[in-house]
Structure 1
Amino acid sequence: MSTPSSSAEVGVIGGSGFYSFLDDAEEVIVDTPYGPPSDPITIGELAGRRVAFVPRHGRDHRFPPHRIPYRANLWALRSLGVRQVLAPSAVGSLTPDHGPGTLAVPDQLTDRTRNRTQTYYDDGAAIHISFSDPYCPAGRQTVLASARTAGWPPVDGGTLVVIEGPRFSTRAESKWFAAQGWTLIGMTGHPEAVLARELALCYTPLCLVTDFDAGVEEGEGVTMEEVYRVFGENIDRLRTLVTDVIASLPAERTCPCPRTLDGMKLPLELP
Protein backbone atom coordinates (compact mmCIF):
# COMPACT_ATOMS: atom_id res chain seq x y z
CA MET A 1 0.00 0.00 0.00
CA SER A 2 1.06 3.59 -0.52
CA THR A 3 1.78 5.86 2.43
CA PRO A 4 1.25 9.64 2.78
CA SER A 5 5.00 10.20 2.30
CA SER A 6 4.82 8.31 -0.99
CA SER A 7 3.02 11.07 -2.84
CA ALA A 8 3.45 12.94 -6.10
CA GLU A 9 1.81 15.80 -7.97
CA VAL A 10 2.70 14.89 -11.56
CA GLY A 11 2.34 11.48 -13.18
CA VAL A 12 4.12 10.12 -16.25
CA ILE A 13 2.84 7.07 -18.12
CA GLY A 14 5.53 5.94 -20.51
CA GLY A 15 7.72 3.18 -21.81
CA SER A 16 11.35 2.21 -22.07
CA GLY A 17 13.79 5.04 -21.56
CA PHE A 18 11.86 6.59 -18.69
CA TYR A 19 12.56 4.05 -15.94
CA SER A 20 15.63 5.80 -14.55
CA PHE A 21 14.87 9.48 -15.15
CA LEU A 22 13.83 10.26 -11.56
CA ASP A 23 16.18 11.28 -8.75
CA ASP A 24 16.04 9.66 -5.29
CA ALA A 25 13.45 7.23 -6.60
CA GLU A 26 11.49 4.73 -4.56
CA GLU A 27 9.12 2.00 -5.62
CA VAL A 28 5.61 2.01 -4.21
CA ILE A 29 3.10 -0.84 -4.28
CA VAL A 30 -0.41 0.51 -4.80
CA ASP A 31 -3.56 -1.55 -4.39
CA THR A 32 -6.55 -0.53 -6.49
CA PRO A 33 -10.10 -1.86 -6.90
CA TYR A 34 -9.09 -2.79 -10.44
CA GLY A 35 -6.08 -4.93 -9.59
CA PRO A 36 -2.43 -3.91 -9.63
CA PRO A 37 -1.07 -1.34 -12.08
CA SER A 38 1.29 -2.41 -14.84
CA ASP A 39 4.16 -2.48 -12.31
CA PRO A 40 5.06 -0.85 -8.99
CA ILE A 41 4.95 2.95 -9.24
CA THR A 42 8.30 4.75 -9.10
CA ILE A 43 8.26 8.08 -7.24
CA GLY A 44 11.07 10.59 -7.16
CA GLU A 45 12.17 14.17 -7.68
CA LEU A 46 12.39 15.82 -11.06
CA ALA A 47 12.61 19.51 -11.92
CA GLY A 48 11.68 20.40 -8.36
CA ARG A 49 8.46 18.37 -8.44
CA ARG A 50 7.40 15.05 -6.98
CA VAL A 51 6.78 12.76 -9.94
CA ALA A 52 5.24 9.29 -10.17
CA PHE A 53 6.07 7.04 -13.10
CA VAL A 54 4.16 3.98 -14.26
CA PRO A 55 5.50 1.82 -17.12
CA ARG A 56 2.53 1.50 -19.43
CA HIS A 57 3.36 -1.97 -20.76
CA GLY A 58 5.17 -3.20 -17.65
CA ARG A 59 8.94 -3.17 -17.31
CA ASP A 60 9.30 -6.34 -19.35
CA HIS A 61 6.77 -5.10 -21.92
CA ARG A 62 4.47 -7.98 -21.04
CA PHE A 63 1.18 -6.13 -21.58
CA PRO A 64 0.08 -5.71 -25.20
CA PRO A 65 -1.98 -2.57 -25.81
CA HIS A 66 -5.35 -4.28 -25.41
CA ARG A 67 -4.34 -5.90 -22.09
CA ILE A 68 -2.81 -2.89 -20.29
CA PRO A 69 -4.51 -2.37 -16.89
CA TYR A 70 -5.54 1.18 -17.77
CA ARG A 71 -8.03 1.61 -14.93
CA ALA A 72 -5.55 0.44 -12.31
CA ASN A 73 -2.78 2.69 -13.69
CA LEU A 74 -4.82 5.91 -13.55
CA TRP A 75 -6.45 5.04 -10.22
CA ALA A 76 -3.05 4.32 -8.68
CA LEU A 77 -1.67 7.67 -9.82
CA ARG A 78 -4.61 9.60 -8.40
CA SER A 79 -4.37 7.70 -5.10
CA LEU A 80 -0.78 8.96 -4.81
CA GLY A 81 -1.89 12.57 -5.16
CA VAL A 82 -1.23 12.96 -8.88
CA ARG A 83 -3.50 15.45 -10.60
CA GLN A 84 -1.58 16.15 -13.84
CA VAL A 85 -0.57 13.29 -16.16
CA LEU A 86 1.86 13.38 -19.08
CA ALA A 87 1.60 10.55 -21.59
CA PRO A 88 4.53 10.19 -24.01
CA SER A 89 4.00 7.50 -26.64
CA ALA A 90 5.08 6.29 -30.05
CA VAL A 91 2.58 6.82 -32.86
CA GLY A 92 2.35 6.40 -36.61
CA SER A 93 1.66 9.18 -39.09
CA LEU A 94 -1.36 9.16 -41.40
CA THR A 95 -0.05 12.07 -43.46
CA PRO A 96 3.20 12.61 -45.39
CA ASP A 97 3.48 15.97 -43.61
CA HIS A 98 4.53 14.35 -40.30
CA GLY A 99 7.58 12.16 -40.79
CA PRO A 100 9.47 10.03 -38.28
CA GLY A 101 10.95 12.13 -35.49
CA THR A 102 8.04 14.58 -35.50
CA LEU A 103 6.64 15.64 -32.13
CA ALA A 104 2.86 16.02 -32.26
CA VAL A 105 0.44 17.27 -29.61
CA PRO A 106 -3.02 16.27 -30.84
CA ASP A 107 -6.15 18.04 -29.70
CA GLN A 108 -8.67 15.36 -30.70
CA LEU A 109 -9.08 11.60 -30.34
CA THR A 110 -11.05 8.93 -32.19
CA ASP A 111 -11.70 5.54 -30.61
CA ARG A 112 -11.50 2.51 -32.89
CA THR A 113 -10.87 -0.02 -30.11
CA ARG A 114 -13.28 -2.88 -29.48
CA ASN A 115 -12.75 -4.75 -26.23
CA ARG A 116 -11.44 -2.27 -23.67
CA THR A 117 -13.24 -1.25 -20.51
CA GLN A 118 -13.33 2.52 -20.76
CA THR A 119 -15.15 3.74 -17.68
CA TYR A 120 -15.06 3.58 -13.90
CA TYR A 121 -18.80 4.21 -13.77
CA ASP A 122 -20.30 1.00 -15.14
CA ASP A 123 -22.44 0.23 -12.11
CA GLY A 124 -24.65 2.10 -9.63
CA ALA A 125 -25.37 5.24 -11.66
CA ALA A 126 -25.23 6.65 -15.17
CA ILE A 127 -22.35 9.14 -15.20
CA HIS A 128 -21.86 11.11 -18.41
CA ILE A 129 -18.71 13.24 -18.58
CA SER A 130 -17.83 15.93 -21.08
CA PHE A 131 -15.19 14.68 -23.51
CA SER A 132 -15.57 17.06 -26.43
CA ASP A 133 -12.00 18.20 -25.91
CA PRO A 134 -10.17 15.14 -24.60
CA TYR A 135 -6.90 16.73 -23.51
CA CYS A 136 -5.97 19.30 -20.90
CA PRO A 137 -5.65 22.72 -22.58
CA ALA A 138 -3.11 23.96 -20.04
CA GLY A 139 -1.01 20.83 -20.41
CA ARG A 140 -1.07 21.07 -24.19
CA GLN A 141 0.08 24.69 -24.16
CA THR A 142 2.87 23.84 -21.73
CA VAL A 143 4.14 21.05 -23.99
CA LEU A 144 3.95 23.24 -27.10
CA ALA A 145 5.82 26.10 -25.44
CA SER A 146 8.47 23.81 -23.94
CA ALA A 147 9.07 22.08 -27.27
CA ARG A 148 9.47 25.36 -29.13
CA THR A 149 11.91 26.62 -26.51
CA ALA A 150 13.89 23.40 -26.87
CA GLY A 151 14.10 23.82 -30.64
CA TRP A 152 11.82 20.90 -31.46
CA PRO A 153 9.00 22.51 -33.48
CA PRO A 154 5.81 20.63 -32.51
CA VAL A 155 2.73 19.87 -34.56
CA ASP A 156 -0.06 21.73 -32.76
CA GLY A 157 -3.33 19.82 -33.06
CA GLY A 158 -4.60 16.92 -35.10
CA THR A 159 -6.57 13.78 -34.38
CA LEU A 160 -5.12 10.63 -32.86
CA VAL A 161 -7.05 7.52 -33.84
CA VAL A 162 -6.53 4.65 -31.40
CA ILE A 163 -6.85 1.11 -32.75
CA GLU A 164 -7.21 -2.13 -30.84
CA GLY A 165 -3.91 -3.69 -31.85
CA PRO A 166 -1.65 -5.40 -31.28
CA ARG A 167 -1.43 -5.73 -35.06
CA PHE A 168 -0.72 -2.75 -37.29
CA SER A 169 -3.29 -1.50 -39.80
CA THR A 170 -3.89 -2.85 -43.27
CA ARG A 171 -3.28 -0.41 -46.10
CA ALA A 172 -7.04 -0.14 -46.67
CA GLU A 173 -7.68 0.71 -43.01
CA SER A 174 -4.85 3.22 -42.99
CA LYS A 175 -6.15 4.97 -46.12
CA TRP A 176 -9.66 5.08 -44.63
CA PHE A 177 -8.37 6.64 -41.40
CA ALA A 178 -6.46 9.26 -43.39
CA ALA A 179 -9.53 9.99 -45.53
CA GLN A 180 -11.41 10.97 -42.36
CA GLY A 181 -8.83 13.70 -41.78
CA TRP A 182 -7.18 11.88 -38.87
CA THR A 183 -3.44 12.54 -38.66
CA LEU A 184 -1.93 10.15 -36.08
CA ILE A 185 -2.48 6.51 -35.20
CA GLY A 186 -1.62 4.67 -31.99
CA MET A 187 -2.73 1.83 -29.72
CA THR A 188 -2.58 3.21 -26.16
CA GLY A 189 -4.12 6.70 -26.06
CA HIS A 190 -7.56 5.28 -25.34
CA PRO A 191 -8.96 4.58 -22.79
CA GLU A 192 -6.15 6.40 -20.92
CA ALA A 193 -7.49 9.83 -21.80
CA VAL A 194 -11.12 9.14 -20.92
CA LEU A 195 -10.24 7.39 -17.65
CA ALA A 196 -8.11 10.36 -16.65
CA ARG A 197 -11.06 12.66 -17.37
CA GLU A 198 -13.37 10.45 -15.28
CA LEU A 199 -10.96 10.97 -12.37
CA ALA A 200 -10.84 14.75 -13.00
CA LEU A 201 -7.16 14.54 -13.90
CA CYS A 202 -5.32 16.67 -16.43
CA TYR A 203 -4.09 14.41 -19.24
CA THR A 204 -1.66 15.56 -21.94
CA PRO A 205 -0.22 13.45 -24.78
CA LEU A 206 3.28 13.83 -26.21
CA CYS A 207 3.25 11.85 -29.44
CA LEU A 208 6.52 10.88 -31.11
CA VAL A 209 6.02 9.84 -34.73
CA THR A 210 8.08 6.71 -35.42
CA ASP A 211 6.77 5.69 -38.84
CA PHE A 212 4.43 6.37 -41.74
CA ASP A 213 1.38 4.16 -41.47
CA ALA A 214 0.81 1.48 -44.11
CA GLY A 215 -1.40 3.54 -46.41
CA VAL A 216 0.82 6.61 -46.54
CA GLU A 217 3.80 5.25 -48.45
CA GLU A 218 4.49 2.27 -50.65
CA GLY A 219 6.92 -0.32 -49.35
CA GLU A 220 7.19 -2.87 -46.61
CA GLY A 221 4.76 -1.25 -44.20
CA VAL A 222 5.15 -0.70 -40.47
CA THR A 223 7.48 -2.99 -38.52
CA MET A 224 8.30 -3.20 -34.82
CA GLU A 225 11.99 -2.92 -35.66
CA GLU A 226 11.47 0.46 -37.31
CA VAL A 227 9.27 1.74 -34.48
CA TYR A 228 11.85 0.76 -31.84
CA ARG A 229 14.72 2.20 -33.87
CA VAL A 230 13.18 5.65 -34.31
CA PHE A 231 11.90 5.75 -30.74
CA GLY A 232 15.37 4.84 -29.46
CA GLU A 233 16.96 7.58 -31.56
CA ASN A 234 14.67 10.18 -30.00
CA ILE A 235 14.23 8.94 -26.43
CA ASP A 236 16.83 11.27 -24.90
CA ARG A 237 15.20 14.24 -26.60
CA LEU A 238 11.76 13.15 -25.47
CA ARG A 239 12.89 12.53 -21.91
CA THR A 240 14.48 15.98 -21.75
CA LEU A 241 11.28 17.53 -23.06
CA VAL A 242 9.17 15.72 -20.45
CA THR A 243 11.50 17.10 -17.77
CA ASP A 244 11.10 20.64 -19.15
CA VAL A 245 7.31 20.26 -19.25
CA ILE A 246 7.19 19.02 -15.65
CA ALA A 247 9.16 22.08 -14.55
CA SER A 248 6.72 24.36 -16.38
CA LEU A 249 3.37 22.81 -15.53
CA PRO A 250 1.21 25.24 -13.52
CA ALA A 251 1.17 24.58 -9.79
CA GLU A 252 -2.50 25.57 -9.63
CA ARG A 253 -4.96 23.98 -12.01
CA THR A 254 -7.21 26.64 -13.51
CA CYS A 255 -8.20 24.54 -16.53
CA PRO A 256 -11.64 22.84 -16.76
CA CYS A 257 -10.29 19.37 -15.86
CA PRO A 258 -10.68 19.62 -12.04
CA ARG A 259 -14.35 20.58 -12.45
CA THR A 260 -15.27 17.58 -14.61
CA LEU A 261 -17.26 15.84 -11.89
CA ASP A 262 -18.79 18.90 -10.23
CA GLY A 263 -22.43 18.36 -9.29
CA MET A 264 -22.39 14.63 -10.02
CA LYS A 265 -23.38 11.99 -7.51
CA LEU A 266 -20.74 9.34 -8.09
CA PRO A 267 -21.39 5.65 -7.40
CA LEU A 268 -17.89 5.24 -5.95
CA GLU A 269 -15.50 7.17 -3.75
CA LEU A 270 -12.46 8.51 -5.54
CA PRO A 271 -9.04 8.28 -3.89
Structure 2
Amino acid sequence: MIAGTGFYDLDALDDAQHETVHTAYGTAAVTRGSWHGQSVVFVTRHGAGHDVPPHRINYRAIVRALDELGVHDVVAINVTGGIDPDLEAGEIVCIDDFLDLTRRRESTFHGDGLGGVVHTDMTHAYDPVLRRELLDAASAIGQPVIDGGTYVCFDGPRFESPAEIRLAALAGGTVAGMTGVPEVTLAAEAGLRYAALSLVVNAAAGVRPGEAITMDDINTVLTSAAPKVLAVVDELVHTRSVFRSVDGEEAGG
Protein backbone atom coordinates (compact mmCIF):
# COMPACT_ATOMS: atom_id res chain seq x y z
CA MET A 1 0.00 0.00 0.00
CA ILE A 2 1.34 3.41 -1.03
CA ALA A 3 -0.36 6.53 0.29
CA GLY A 4 0.22 10.25 0.44
CA THR A 5 -1.19 13.37 2.08
CA GLY A 6 -3.03 12.57 5.30
CA PHE A 7 -1.92 8.92 5.36
CA TYR A 8 1.32 8.88 7.33
CA ASP A 9 0.97 5.60 9.21
CA LEU A 10 -1.15 2.48 9.11
CA ASP A 11 -2.62 1.70 12.50
CA ALA A 12 -4.12 -1.53 11.18
CA LEU A 13 -0.69 -3.17 10.94
CA ASP A 14 0.27 -5.63 13.66
CA ASP A 15 3.92 -6.13 14.57
CA ALA A 16 4.87 -3.08 12.49
CA GLN A 17 8.56 -2.70 11.77
CA HIS A 18 10.10 0.36 10.14
CA GLU A 19 13.04 -0.20 7.85
CA THR A 20 15.04 1.35 5.05
CA VAL A 21 15.38 -0.58 1.82
CA HIS A 22 18.45 0.12 -0.30
CA THR A 23 17.96 -0.18 -4.07
CA ALA A 24 19.93 0.69 -7.17
CA TYR A 25 17.84 3.87 -7.36
CA GLY A 26 18.27 5.02 -3.78
CA THR A 27 16.60 4.22 -0.48
CA ALA A 28 12.95 3.82 0.45
CA ALA A 29 11.48 3.95 3.95
CA VAL A 30 8.85 1.24 4.44
CA THR A 31 6.80 -0.24 7.25
CA ARG A 32 6.24 -3.98 7.25
CA GLY A 33 3.65 -5.79 9.29
CA SER A 34 0.62 -8.06 9.33
CA TRP A 35 -2.94 -7.06 8.43
CA HIS A 36 -5.66 -9.65 8.92
CA GLY A 37 -2.86 -12.20 8.95
CA GLN A 38 -1.44 -11.11 5.62
CA SER A 39 2.02 -9.63 5.09
CA VAL A 40 1.72 -5.98 4.07
CA VAL A 41 4.26 -3.31 3.18
CA PHE A 42 3.22 0.31 3.70
CA VAL A 43 4.88 3.39 2.20
CA THR A 44 3.94 6.98 2.91
CA ARG A 45 5.18 8.91 -0.13
CA HIS A 46 5.89 12.24 1.55
CA GLY A 47 7.52 10.79 4.65
CA ALA A 48 6.07 10.60 8.15
CA GLY A 49 6.51 14.35 8.60
CA HIS A 50 5.25 15.26 5.11
CA ASP A 51 8.64 16.76 4.29
CA VAL A 52 9.11 15.36 0.76
CA PRO A 53 7.29 17.35 -1.94
CA PRO A 54 5.71 15.41 -4.82
CA HIS A 55 8.33 16.31 -7.42
CA ARG A 56 11.11 15.13 -5.08
CA ILE A 57 9.66 11.72 -4.23
CA ASN A 58 11.96 8.89 -5.32
CA TYR A 59 9.30 6.86 -7.10
CA ARG A 60 11.82 4.48 -8.63
CA ALA A 61 13.27 3.58 -5.25
CA ILE A 62 9.80 3.02 -3.77
CA VAL A 63 8.57 0.73 -6.54
CA ARG A 64 11.85 -1.15 -6.79
CA ALA A 65 11.88 -1.65 -3.01
CA LEU A 66 8.39 -3.14 -3.11
CA ASP A 67 9.41 -5.44 -5.94
CA GLU A 68 12.52 -6.58 -4.10
CA LEU A 69 10.49 -7.22 -0.93
CA GLY A 70 8.32 -9.66 -2.86
CA VAL A 71 5.22 -7.51 -3.24
CA HIS A 72 2.91 -8.60 -6.07
CA ASP A 73 -0.05 -6.22 -5.71
CA VAL A 74 0.01 -2.50 -4.96
CA VAL A 75 -2.96 -0.50 -3.73
CA ALA A 76 -2.31 3.23 -4.01
CA ILE A 77 -4.24 6.04 -2.34
CA ASN A 78 -4.13 9.48 -3.91
CA VAL A 79 -5.59 12.72 -2.57
CA THR A 80 -6.87 14.74 -5.50
CA GLY A 81 -8.82 17.70 -6.80
CA GLY A 82 -11.94 17.10 -8.82
CA ILE A 83 -11.75 18.08 -12.47
CA ASP A 84 -15.19 16.63 -13.16
CA PRO A 85 -17.60 19.30 -11.87
CA ASP A 86 -20.00 16.62 -10.64
CA LEU A 87 -17.48 15.30 -8.12
CA GLU A 88 -17.99 16.32 -4.51
CA ALA A 89 -15.38 16.48 -1.77
CA GLY A 90 -15.21 13.14 0.01
CA GLU A 91 -16.04 11.00 -3.03
CA ILE A 92 -13.76 8.13 -4.04
CA VAL A 93 -12.78 7.18 -7.59
CA CYS A 94 -11.20 3.88 -8.60
CA ILE A 95 -8.89 5.12 -11.36
CA ASP A 96 -8.55 3.26 -14.66
CA ASP A 97 -6.37 5.60 -16.76
CA PHE A 98 -3.86 8.43 -16.45
CA LEU A 99 -2.55 11.50 -18.24
CA ASP A 100 1.05 12.50 -17.51
CA LEU A 101 1.58 16.28 -17.54
CA THR A 102 4.75 16.16 -15.45
CA ARG A 103 7.98 17.49 -16.95
CA ARG A 104 10.99 16.69 -14.79
CA ARG A 105 10.65 13.25 -13.24
CA GLU A 106 12.60 10.04 -13.62
CA SER A 107 9.76 8.00 -15.09
CA THR A 108 11.27 4.68 -16.14
CA PHE A 109 13.65 1.94 -15.06
CA HIS A 110 14.88 1.69 -18.65
CA GLY A 111 16.19 5.19 -19.28
CA ASP A 112 19.87 4.30 -19.01
CA GLY A 113 19.91 2.25 -22.19
CA LEU A 114 20.97 -0.97 -20.48
CA GLY A 115 19.42 -4.04 -22.01
CA GLY A 116 18.21 -2.23 -25.10
CA VAL A 117 15.12 -0.11 -25.64
CA VAL A 118 12.04 -1.26 -23.70
CA HIS A 119 8.49 -0.16 -24.51
CA THR A 120 6.01 -1.15 -21.78
CA ASP A 121 2.31 -1.46 -22.59
CA MET A 122 0.18 0.92 -20.50
CA THR A 123 -3.22 -0.19 -21.80
CA HIS A 124 -4.02 -1.79 -18.45
CA ALA A 125 -1.60 0.02 -16.17
CA TYR A 126 -4.35 -0.11 -13.53
CA ASP A 127 -4.85 -3.83 -13.22
CA PRO A 128 -8.48 -4.77 -14.07
CA VAL A 129 -8.58 -7.70 -11.66
CA LEU A 130 -7.22 -5.76 -8.70
CA ARG A 131 -9.54 -2.85 -9.52
CA ARG A 132 -12.52 -5.23 -9.46
CA GLU A 133 -11.41 -6.60 -6.10
CA LEU A 134 -11.33 -3.06 -4.69
CA LEU A 135 -14.75 -2.25 -6.13
CA ASP A 136 -16.18 -5.48 -4.74
CA ALA A 137 -14.68 -4.70 -1.33
CA ALA A 138 -16.29 -1.27 -1.39
CA SER A 139 -19.64 -2.78 -2.36
CA ALA A 140 -19.40 -5.34 0.43
CA ILE A 141 -19.23 -2.61 3.09
CA GLY A 142 -21.69 -0.28 1.37
CA GLN A 143 -19.10 2.35 0.49
CA PRO A 144 -19.81 4.12 -2.80
CA VAL A 145 -16.81 4.19 -5.14
CA ILE A 146 -16.93 5.53 -8.69
CA ASP A 147 -15.83 2.87 -11.18
CA GLY A 148 -13.33 4.46 -13.54
CA GLY A 149 -11.72 7.83 -14.06
CA THR A 150 -8.62 9.46 -15.51
CA TYR A 151 -5.95 10.73 -13.14
CA VAL A 152 -4.12 13.78 -14.50
CA CYS A 153 -0.70 14.22 -12.89
CA PHE A 154 1.02 17.59 -12.52
CA ASP A 155 4.45 18.25 -11.02
CA GLY A 156 3.38 20.38 -8.07
CA PRO A 157 4.01 21.29 -5.35
CA ARG A 158 1.86 24.28 -6.31
CA PHE A 159 -1.78 23.74 -7.15
CA GLU A 160 -2.77 23.85 -10.81
CA SER A 161 -3.99 26.97 -12.57
CA PRO A 162 -7.57 27.21 -13.88
CA ALA A 163 -6.21 27.10 -17.46
CA GLU A 164 -4.30 23.89 -16.73
CA ILE A 165 -7.44 22.32 -15.32
CA ARG A 166 -9.45 23.40 -18.37
CA LEU A 167 -6.81 21.74 -20.55
CA ALA A 168 -6.97 18.57 -18.46
CA ALA A 169 -10.77 18.57 -18.69
CA LEU A 170 -10.62 18.81 -22.49
CA ALA A 171 -8.36 15.75 -22.46
CA GLY A 172 -10.92 13.78 -20.44
CA GLY A 173 -9.40 14.21 -17.00
CA THR A 174 -11.45 13.26 -13.94
CA VAL A 175 -9.16 14.18 -11.06
CA ALA A 176 -5.91 16.12 -10.68
CA GLY A 177 -3.01 15.09 -8.49
CA MET A 178 0.75 15.28 -8.10
CA THR A 179 1.89 11.74 -7.23
CA GLY A 180 0.12 9.14 -9.38
CA VAL A 181 2.70 9.24 -12.18
CA PRO A 182 5.32 7.81 -12.61
CA GLU A 183 4.30 5.53 -9.76
CA VAL A 184 1.78 3.67 -11.92
CA THR A 185 4.09 3.42 -14.94
CA LEU A 186 6.98 2.13 -12.85
CA ALA A 187 4.73 -0.49 -11.28
CA ALA A 188 3.77 -1.64 -14.77
CA GLU A 189 7.43 -1.84 -15.79
CA ALA A 190 8.20 -3.88 -12.67
CA GLY A 191 5.37 -6.31 -13.41
CA LEU A 192 3.36 -5.40 -10.31
CA ARG A 193 -0.42 -5.36 -10.28
CA TYR A 194 -1.40 -1.79 -9.42
CA ALA A 195 -4.73 -0.15 -8.58
CA ALA A 196 -5.50 3.27 -7.16
CA LEU A 197 -8.23 4.85 -5.07
CA SER A 198 -8.49 8.59 -5.57
CA LEU A 199 -10.00 10.57 -2.69
CA VAL A 200 -11.42 13.87 -3.91
CA VAL A 201 -10.81 16.60 -1.33
CA ASN A 202 -11.62 19.76 -3.30
CA ALA A 203 -12.81 21.08 -6.64
CA ALA A 204 -9.80 21.74 -8.86
CA ALA A 205 -8.87 25.32 -9.68
CA GLY A 206 -11.56 27.17 -11.62
CA VAL A 207 -14.07 24.31 -11.58
CA ARG A 208 -16.22 26.30 -9.19
CA PRO A 209 -15.42 29.96 -9.86
CA GLY A 210 -14.72 32.02 -6.77
CA GLU A 211 -13.72 29.04 -4.62
CA ALA A 212 -10.14 29.12 -3.34
CA ILE A 213 -8.17 25.97 -2.50
CA THR A 214 -6.90 25.92 1.09
CA MET A 215 -5.09 23.29 3.09
CA ASP A 216 -7.49 23.88 5.97
CA ASP A 217 -10.41 22.79 3.80
CA ILE A 218 -8.46 19.84 2.44
CA ASN A 219 -7.49 18.66 5.93
CA THR A 220 -11.10 18.92 7.06
CA VAL A 221 -12.19 16.59 4.25
CA LEU A 222 -9.29 14.24 4.95
CA THR A 223 -10.29 13.92 8.58
CA SER A 224 -13.79 12.79 7.70
CA ALA A 225 -13.12 10.85 4.48
CA ALA A 226 -9.78 9.09 4.95
CA PRO A 227 -11.34 6.40 7.18
CA LYS A 228 -13.74 5.52 4.34
CA VAL A 229 -10.83 4.81 2.01
CA LEU A 230 -9.02 2.74 4.62
CA ALA A 231 -12.22 0.77 5.27
CA VAL A 232 -12.31 -0.29 1.62
CA VAL A 233 -8.70 -1.47 1.74
CA ASP A 234 -9.33 -3.19 5.06
CA GLU A 235 -12.18 -5.16 3.51
CA LEU A 236 -9.99 -6.10 0.54
CA VAL A 237 -7.26 -7.42 2.84
CA HIS A 238 -9.80 -9.19 5.06
CA THR A 239 -11.44 -10.84 2.05
CA ARG A 240 -8.10 -12.08 0.82
CA SER A 241 -7.33 -13.39 4.28
CA VAL A 242 -10.58 -15.40 4.24
CA PHE A 243 -9.78 -16.78 0.79
CA ARG A 244 -6.32 -17.74 1.96
CA SER A 245 -7.66 -19.62 4.98
CA VAL A 246 -10.14 -21.49 2.77
CA ASP A 247 -7.71 -22.27 -0.04
CA GLY A 248 -4.79 -23.00 2.25
CA GLU A 249 -2.41 -20.77 0.36
CA GLU A 250 -1.46 -17.12 0.44
CA ALA A 251 -2.78 -14.70 -2.12
CA GLY A 252 -0.52 -12.04 -3.65
CA GLY A 253 1.19 -9.79 -1.10
Corresponding residue number in structure 1 for 2:53: 64
Give 1:140's aligned amino acid: R
1:177-228 deviation line (CA, Å, top 9, x unaligned):
1122211111100000000011100111011110111121012322222222
Counterpart contact for 1:142–1:248, Cα < 8 Å? no
The answer as to 2:220 corresponding to 1:229 is yes
- Listed as ranges, the gaps of 5+ residues in structure 2 are 244-249
Is the Cα–Cα contact under 8 Å of residues 47 and 244 in structure 1 kept in the other structure? Answer: no
Match of 1:113, SS state, is: coil
The share of aligned pairs that are identical, in percent, is: 38
1-structure distance, mates of 2:7, 2:59: 20
Tell me the TM-score normalized by structure 1: 0.84
State the alpha-carbon separation in 2 of the partners of residues 127 and 172 from structure 1.
Answer: 34
Letter of the 2:225 partner, please give it. Answer: N
Partner of 2:67: 78
Matches within 5 A, 1:92-107: 92-107=81-96
Offset, 1:65: 0.6
1:180 equivalent to 2:157? Answer no
- 2:44 equivalent to 1:55: yes
Q: Aligned pairs, how many?
A: 240
| 2:157 aligned partner | 166
8 Å Cα contact 1:88/1:205 also seen in 2: yes
- Once the two structures are TM-superposed, the CA of residue 244 in structure 1 deviates from its matched residue by 1.1
Give 5+ residue unaligned stretches, structure 1: 1-11, 254-271
Which digits, 9 at most, give the CA deviation of each residue in 1:142-186, with x for residues without a partner?
111111222121111121111111111111111221122211111
2:99 maps to 1:129 = no
Q: Matched residues in 2 for 1:145 and 1:18: separation?
A: 26
1:247 to 230, 234, 238: 238
Counterpart secondary structure, 2:43:
strand
Q: Deviations over 1:112-170 (max 9, x none)?
A: 00000100111211011111222011110011111122212111112111111111111
SS of match in other structure, 2:18: strand
In structure 2, what is the Cα distance between the partners aligned to 1:101 and 1:73?
27
- State the TM-score, normalized to the length of structure 2: 0.90
